[in-house]
Amino acid sequence: MAERIGIVGGGIVGIAIARALMRTGDFDVTVLEKESRVAQHQTGHNSGVVHAGLYYQPGSLKATLCARGRQLTREFCQERNLPYRELGKLVVAVTNADLPKLDDIERRARENQVPGLKRLNAQEMREIEPHVAGVAAVHSPETAVVDYAAITEALAEDVRRAGGKIMLGQEVTAVNIAGGTVNVSTTAGAHSFDRLIVCAGLQSDVVAKMVGASPSPKILPFRGEYWMMATDRRDLVKGMIYPVPDPRFPFLGVHFTRGVYDEVHVGPNAVPALAREGYSWGKISLKDTLESIRWPGAAALAKQHWLMGVREISSSLVKPLYFQEARKFVPELQSRDLVSKSASGVRAQAWDKDGTLLDDFAVDQVGQVTLLRNAPSPAATSAMSIADYVLKEYLKITPKVERS
């Protein structure tokens, strides 16, 4: 009898793990997804960037899995005739004060063997992005954009074709481990598995609590809001223009991204969401908000990052502040060029009891249950390599080797 493996979460990571299992051995795989389609949350609400590994601490899981994940994503898109556009990314030092941080980004990127990386002066970077302002930049020519929702749907097709099940409308309400069996209750029924993998994103700590895992790390939802550029002004941006990120904060700052279908997004900012799935200021969960405020690390986090929080919230509520932040990089930008807010995303950011925001991917094991506790960006880029990592390191299954 085939081993029964359940997966909670139908985002790109959960579906990639299901596909890896179906390709590797004789498993009875079932994905439980609470929404009516896959890729409903983080996977379907990001800017579509395939990261090349510029920012991550060399030797970290993020650095290692991002590099391999980028290769696998590109190959999958080529095989399935899905769009994959290497538009390139400039990380821009606007002033000389940014140069030490740019130096650090360049050092990390070179240690991470980011392909084609170049350091550019002001003239050289304007040959790539004619409308950009700044004193220097690092250029990653192979940073690409894709449609992650379409990739997830294609991965899901592979799962179903191989005999795996993806069950929608199945919100998990309880998990019980008894006699070597993992029993999972959902809003639509009950399921029993030999092993369970939790890839629940914004709800990952909720499901971890059901399993009996440590309450830490907890998920702190951050909403990222994007503005769309007017169609007739998209020529101001050829590819991607990013700021030098603040190393104290796990967000990249407001940036410009030409998408896979030629739309240009400006953003995101990073504001605390008032609900786990709070895609707007109007979506409020008193329960989620109180849980965040009462978390032991809340005071330490607020003390350390209150100024940035005020700035981010202000730019969310007052368009001219958001516009001024963006205009630092493209001086020709006019306020009227930001025509509408596109769909916001909510990042599932894990934080510890001491207020520390986790930077690297984090996985826990509780008996027969494997829990992905922190899988923010570049998790979409890394999804297929995360899948192989989970199979090998936690399930002790040798994954099928993809060509490279």
Q: Encode pLDDT of 169-192 as tens digits.
A: 999 999 999 988 999 999 999 999
Element (H, E) at 220: strand 218-224
What CATH number was assigned to the domain covering residues 86-140+224-351?
3.30.9.10
Same fold, 1-85+142-217+358-404 and 86-140+224-351: no
The architecture that CATH gives domain 1-85+142-217+358-404 is 3-Layer(bba) Sandwich (3.50)
Of 307 and 202, the one with more pLDDT: 202
Is the pLDDT at 218 greater than 80? The verdict is: yes
Write down the domain spans for the chain.
1-85+142-217+358-404, 86-140+224-351
The pLDDT assigned to 312 comes to 58
pLDDT in tens, 1-37: 799 999 999 999 999 999 999 999 889 999 999 999 9
pLDDT at 401 over 80: no
Q: What is the mean pLDDT of residues 47-58?
A: 93
Q: How confident is the model at residue 251 (pLDDT cuts 50, 70, 90)?
A: low
In the predicted structure, residue 270 carries a pLDDT above the cut 80:
no
pTM for the whole structure: 0.93
